[in-house]
Structure 1
Amino acid sequence: MAYSCSFKPLLLFLLFFIATSQARDSITTHLHFFLHENYISPNATSITVVNSTNNNPGGFGRIWIFDYELREGSSANSKLIGRAQGMAPEVSLGQRAWSVLIDFVFTDGEYNGSSLTAAGRATFGGPIERSIIGGTGNFRMARGYTINTLQYGDLAGHVIAEYDAYVVH
């Protein structure tokens, strides 16, 4: 029975070795891209699928579905690299705020066929940070965060947001 006590340190060492070796294999990637939205028909890239019928302030209870373009630059003519697809219910009684679930689906370039999933709160008036909660392809087991700022918006319904994503995978 004396040998069972010496087995515990060996087991702890093996568990520690496995945990640290996986951490060393991770890399961090910085992505920079622009999200292009058009919220006016006939070419709208977002729609309201649930409209709040109560007398709630703002749009509380409204749910948006979207399929935005991801481009390399802020110009509408810049290279299309993917889509940003997801949903955004309005969740606050006190201010305009959304709980956003968004998939960045890359369809061209180095990350073609890969995707990132991010989730988090969005409001007006400043940078928005969201957690990266997963990914596929090159980004399998991803974690990290995104920061985006509104770059441009006009009365014709075009909105451009600049994104920086920091991905550990």
Structure 2
Amino acid sequence: MPNWFIVKDQGVLHRPPKDKISHLHFYFHDILSGRNPTAVPIAGARNGTSATGFGDVIMIDAPLTEGPELSSKLVGRTQGLYASAGLQEASLLMAVNYVFMEGKYNGSSLSILGRNAPMQRVREMPEMGGSGLFRMARGCALPRTRWFNANTGDAIVEYNVFVVHY
């Protein structure tokens, strides 16, 4: 992108804003069990015999917190869905928005669309844009599972997110 551009109707030269890089750190609470789940199955595979849950689709509205405890400060919510997309290994297709409700990012959101292989120690998922302060954002999210209950599917996932925005 050139370091200047012309606003057509005004014929004025403007410099675009400089990119900023922000590092966000938070915890995602994926709770499928109990009386107040944050993730609910909305579709399932017909055969129901896949070890990876292939074909399962889960809708989420889960808290994002400052620390790993669910009782720590709420900074936002993860809203969207994920689907089991792997026949041979656990692999999720995630289409989610991180909606921020605290601090300078209050009212802004980031959109993620990509593969999440939850059995890998650290994963990388692309940021596809956002809103508010993250309008036209790009970058990557690095999730790391901090706790997982194989019986319930509940998990706490730590996120380090690096985002380039104006």
Normalised by the length of structure 2, the TM-score is 0.84
* Structure 1: gaps (5+ residues): 1-14
Aligned partner of 1:30 among 23, 30, 34: 23
Residue by residue over 1:81-129, the C-alpha shift from the partner in whole angstroms, topping out at 9 and shown as x without a partner, is 1101111111122112111111000012221100000111112132111
Larger radius of gyration: 1
Does residue 136 in structure 1 map to residue 131 in structure 2?
yes
Q: Which has the higher helix share?
A: 1
* Change over 3 Å in CA distance of 1:112–1:55 after alignment to 2: closer
Q: Which residue of 2 aligns with 1:90?
A: 84
* Aligned residue-pair number: 153
Q: What whole-Å deviation, never above 9, does each CA across 1:39-67 have from its counterpart, x for those lacking one?
A: 10311111110111136523111111111
Partner of 1:9: none
Matches within 5 A, 1:1-169: 16-18=2-4, 21-22=15-16, 25-54=18-47, 57-58=50-51, 59-123=53-117, 124-154=119-149, 158-169=154-165
RMSD value, Cα:
1.9
Displacement of 1:80 = 0.4
Return the alpha-carbon distance in structure 2 between the equivalents of residues 71 and 78 of structure 1.
6
Structure 2 unpaired stretches of 5+: 6-14
Q: Indicate the residue corresponding to 1:3 in structure 2.
A: none
User: Normalising by structure 1, what TM-score?
Assistant: 0.82
> CA, structure 1 residues 156+94, in 2 after alignment: closer, same or farther (shift >3 Å)?
closer
Distance in structure 2 (CA, Å) of the matches to 1:156 and 1:50: 17
Q: Deviations over 1:116-156 (max 9, x none)?
A: 00111112132111001001011111000010101123466
| 8 A contact 1:56–1:93 mirrored in 2 | no
Distance in 2 (alpha carbons) for counterparts of 1:66 and 1:30: 24
Q: SS where residue 82 of structure 1 aligns?
A: strand
SS state at 2:33 partner? coil
SS in 2 for 1:121: strand
- The AA in structure 2 aligned to 1:44 is P
